[in-house]
Amino acid sequence: MSRKYKITAACAALILLFSAFFFFYQKQQEKQTEPVSVTGFKLNTMIKITVYDKINTELLEHAMALCDTYESLFSRTLSTSEIYKLNHGTLPEKNGFFEVSPETAELVRKGLYYAELSEGAFDLSLAPVSSLWDFTSEEKVIPEPDALKNALPLVDYKNITVEGNTIHFEKEGMGLDLGAIAKGYIADKIKEFLVSKGVKSGIINLGGNVLCIGSQPDGTPFKIGIQKPFSDRGETSITINVSDKSVVSSGIYERYFKKDGILYHHILNPKTGMPYKNGLVSVTILSDQSVDGDALSTSCFALGAKKGMELVESLENTEAVFITENGEFLYSSGFPVSDK
């Protein structure tokens, strides 16, 4: 073999080696940003957590298990939960102050803040009234007028006191319903956990309560679709570009039933015990923390388009879109719509 031929062969071998190495390296890089997801039915809804970083799938399982941990604190209907026991007076108590976990005390404080901010349109003491309704079974239960009349005087957030990790009710028979705020709180806690483990890119979706971790792996914002009212889950009306934000909707299409041609939905007026009827079908809130977005989506729905929008405009880093029965979209001044 000539010297010239030997050099050419060596060069070709080197090029081949480099190409193989480059191909392998690229595949590894691709693998790192391939999404990893877990899904499940928890908190009475479909949960999906997706992470775009290379992580141990055990972390995702742990994130999923956090839903169970918090459900065992905040559920109104689970007979083993802390809130159920609080509502039924079976928690340890001293002078009428029931002992709760720091997490429950923290969430109740948040709920009281939003009850005050919405002047009671959002009221976490709704349990005596909301427990008379059932929007999940096929039963189509409308509460008896007498039952509602007895329950309504028990609903007033001003009669709740939180001191340290204890809760006191002014009236016997009062109880908490954290359904309008708990999923947001839980989403924030899951994000906190994943970020503490080094996750930089992901989406936490708790039945439409969406919380982004960072942006897409290539640095561009996530595209989040806003649910089209009364359509299949996944069908969207508009899409927004967001990074590191929470996108939470409250709508009459989420839990409802129809009886004698009337639609009864799950966002209730604490003054009447009946579903709000104010021309809105949904409110979506864009915020940094999901607990705020969750509380505000329910609060703004309850306040109606005019007062709800005024509230949103008065808050920092908070945007909203209200969808009306006539199909109108009402946007707050800084709402980032990509295809209006």
- Interacting residue ranges for ligand AMP, rule: CB under 6 A: 122-124, 126, 130, 177, 179-180, 250, 254-255, 266-268, 270, 294, 297-298, 302
Going by C-beta distance under 8 Å and a sequence separation of 6 or more, which residues neighbour residue 187? 204, 206, 209, 211, 246, 290, 291, 294
Question: Two tokens at 293?
Answer: 């977005």
Query: Which of 216, 298, 318, 332 is close enough to bind Mg ion by CB under 5 A?
Result: 298
According to the binding rule CB under 5 A, does residue 123 interact with Mg ion? Answer: no
For ligand AMP, which is the closer residue by CB, 154 or 199?
154
Radius of gyration of the chain from its Cα atoms, rounded to whole angstroms: 25
Burial label for 207, CB within 10 Å (0-12, 13-18, 19+), is: middle
CB of 162 to ligand AMP, least distance (A): 17
CB of 130 to ligand AMP, least distance (A): 5
Of ligand AMP, Mg ion, none, which one does residue 166 interact with (CB within 5 to 8 Å by kind)?
none
Alpha helices by DSSP H, listed for the chain, are 3-33, 57-74, 82-87, 102-117, 127-130, 145-151, 182-196, 290-314
For Mg ion, which is the closer residue by CB, 91 or 176?
176
Q: Can you tell me whether residue 110 is helix, strand or coil? A: helix
Question: Two tokens at 132?
Answer: 């008379």
Of Mg ion, ligand AMP, none, which one does residue 267 interact with (CB within 5 to 8 Å by kind)?
ligand AMP
Of Mg ion, ligand AMP, none, which one does residue 302 interact with (CB within 5 to 8 Å by kind)?
ligand AMP
Query: Which of 294, 318, 319, 320 is close enough to bind Mg ion by CB under 5 A?
Result: 294
Of ligand AMP, Mg ion, none, which one does residue 126 interact with (CB within 5 to 8 Å by kind)?
ligand AMP
CB of 118 to ligand AMP, least distance (A): 8
According to the binding rule CB under 5 A, does residue 284 interact with Mg ion? Answer: no
According to the binding rule CB under 5 A, does residue 297 interact with Mg ion? Answer: yes
**Residue 316: what residue type?**
E
Question: Two tokens at 281?
Answer: 């079908």
Contact 39/47 with Cβ under 8 angstroms? Answer: yes
Query: Hey, how many other C-beta atoms are within 10 angstroms of the C-beta on 152?
Result: 15
Listed ranges 102-110, 138-146, 154-162, 177-185: which one lies at the site for Mg ion (CB under 5 A): 177-185
DSSP 97: E
248 forms beta bridges with 285
For Mg ion, which is the closer residue by CB, 155 or 291?
291
CB of 52 to ligand AMP, least distance (A): 27
Query: Which of 47, 83, 160, 180 is close enough to bind Mg ion by CB under 5 A?
Result: 180
According to the binding rule CB under 5 A, does residue 246 interact with Mg ion? Answer: no
For Mg ion, which is the closer residue by CB, 199 or 267?
267
According to the binding rule CB under 5 A, does residue 292 interact with Mg ion? Answer: no
Going by C-beta distance under 8 Å and a sequence separation of 6 or more, which residues neighbour residue 270? 120, 121, 123, 125, 126, 129, 155, 156
Burial label for 225, CB within 10 Å (0-12, 13-18, 19+), is: middle
Please give the Cα distance from 24 to 295 (Å, whole number). Answer: 48
By beta carbon distance, the residue nearest ligand AMP is 179
Of Mg ion, ligand AMP, none, which one does residue 122 interact with (CB within 5 to 8 Å by kind)?
ligand AMP
Contact 281/323 with Cβ under 8 angstroms? Answer: yes
For ligand AMP, which is the closer residue by CB, 86 or 267?
267
Of Mg ion, ligand AMP, none, which one does residue 205 interact with (CB within 5 to 8 Å by kind)?
none
Residue ranges binding Mg ion (CB under 5 A): 180, 250, 294, 297-298
